[in-house]
Amino acid sequence: MQRRAEDLGLPVQFCGSRTGHAWEQIDLPMFVRGAWLLNLCNTAPVVKRKQWVFMHDAGVWAIPQFYTWAFRVWYRTMFWLLSRQGVGILTNSNFSAGQLAKHLHLPLANIRVAQLGSDHSCRTPVPAEALADVPLPPEPFLLAVSSHNPNKNFAAIAEALRLLGANAPACVIVGQPRSDIFAAGSPNAGNLRFCGYVSDDALKALLDRALGLIYPSFYEGFGLPPLEAISRGCPVITSATSALPETCGEAALYCDPADPKTLADAISRLASDAPLRASMRAMGLERAATFRWANTAASVKRAIESRL
């Protein structure tokens, strides 16, 4: 990260001797003192008033079952203390703004929205050798990015493929799969290709070639992976919940994350309808073009300037 910042011409200054939360709660506010501070990753020094914090979602309230007790207590307490300090609060969707306002008992106007960008994943060419070491099935194939977080709902993918049986397309799983869901002896083992972790270029190349991205998450504060997919012209099947419809709009097919049959039906529809896929690619590219990091930065800048 230091090298990336220096490549962009941003000065880097180190401070303090602690690490983790101790550094953030003690060393950082001592270093900043009376200056304004911008925190982009949910957490912030709870003793400082002159700061902005980017709270990405309200998951610790909305889906508590997917977090440990200690994590829930820490984040709920920290968010509450920060909100009572009167710090500026940013978030990445209107959905998340409403959720945070509800759970923190704040006026909605107190929370500023800065939607994320997709231009880091736009349709720029990737090296021809990007997929040289990735074990791929014959096309067409679906793509899913695996996570150990139960909120990502990979059990629904396994069940949807089981329901489709012999009609199920192959599915490439990127990342570390959960062994309790994708067991080696499962009925769908022949339909699945586990690729492990791949490079950014390889992921872009997979999105370029995939029939579609499957993303049946139970809860998202924004939904960056589906946005990255549509920015490369990859159709998306995702959940009709949380911020996902706000992010993807009409450029996605939607399912009920609690009902794998709706996911199976969406997969079947996408796989069998070439004109639909072409339409979704066009709508996805058009929608993704409205999400730019320059707009994110401008929204953050306006929020900060409103309190200077």
Whether 95 has a pLDDT exceeding 90, the answer reads yes
Interior CA angle at 198 toward 194 and 199, to 5°? 165
**What is the average pLDDT across 79-88?**
96
| H helix intervals, the chain | 2-7, 20-22, 28-32, 59-62, 69-85, 94-104, 154-164, 200-209, 224-231, 244-248, 260-272, 274-288, 293-305
* pLDDT value of residue 187: 40
Question: Rounded to two decimals, what is the model's pTM?
Answer: 0.91
168 and 136 inside one domain: yes
Task: Compute CA 108 distance to the chain's CA centroid, rounded to the nearest angstrom.
Answer: 23
* Residue 40: pLDDT band with limits 50, 70, 90: very high
pLDDT of 2 higher than 90: no
Domain shared by 134 and 279, yes or no? yes
Query: Do 100 and 133 sit in the same domain of this protein?
Result: no
CATH of residue 127's domain is: 3.40.50.2000
Note whether 172 and 208 are same-domain residues.
yes
Q: Is the dihedral of CA 93, 99, 104, 110 positive or negative?
A: positive
Residue with tokens 């959720």: 99
Domain that holds residue 157: 119-288
- H, E, C per residue of 105-147: CCCHHHEEECCCCCHHHCCCCCCHHHHCCCCCCCCCEEEEECC
Residue 181 is predicted with a pLDDT of 56
Q: Are residues 282 and 135 in the same domain?
A: yes
Residues 67 and 125 in one domain: no
The mean-pLDDT minimum among 6-20, 21-35, 36-50 falls in 6-20
Are residues 92 and 141 located together in one domain of the fold? no
Distance, CA of 52 to CA of 48 (rounded, Å): 10
Q: Beta-carbon neighbour count of residue 186 at 10 Å?
A: 14
Do 73 and 128 lie in one domain? The reply is no
pLDDT in tens, 17-27: 999 999 999 99
pLDDT score at 188:
42
Containing H/E element for 17?
A: none
Tokens of 200: 């950014």
- The answer on pLDDT for 190 being more than 80 is no
Is there a single domain that holds both residue 181 and residue 37?
A: no
Does one domain contain both 98 and 144? no
φ/ψ of residue 158, rounded to 5 = -60, -40
Count structural domains, the chain: 2
Query: What are the tokens at 236?
Result: 């998306």
Same domain, 110 and 136: no
HSE of 136 in the Cβ direction (CA atoms, 13 Å)?
20
Contacts of 87 (CB under 8 A, 6+ apart): 44, 48, 49, 51, 52, 53
Q: What is the mean pLDDT of residues 56-84?
A: 96
Which of 38, 150, 54, 141 has the alpha carbon at shortest distance from 97?
Answer: 54
For residue range 232-286, list pLDDT tens digits in order.
999 999 999 999 999 999 999 999 999 999 999 999 999 999 999 999 999 999 9
Whole-number Å distance between alpha carbons of 265 and 244:
19
Compute the C-alpha angle 23/29/33, nearest 5°: 150
Residues 140 and 210 in one domain: yes
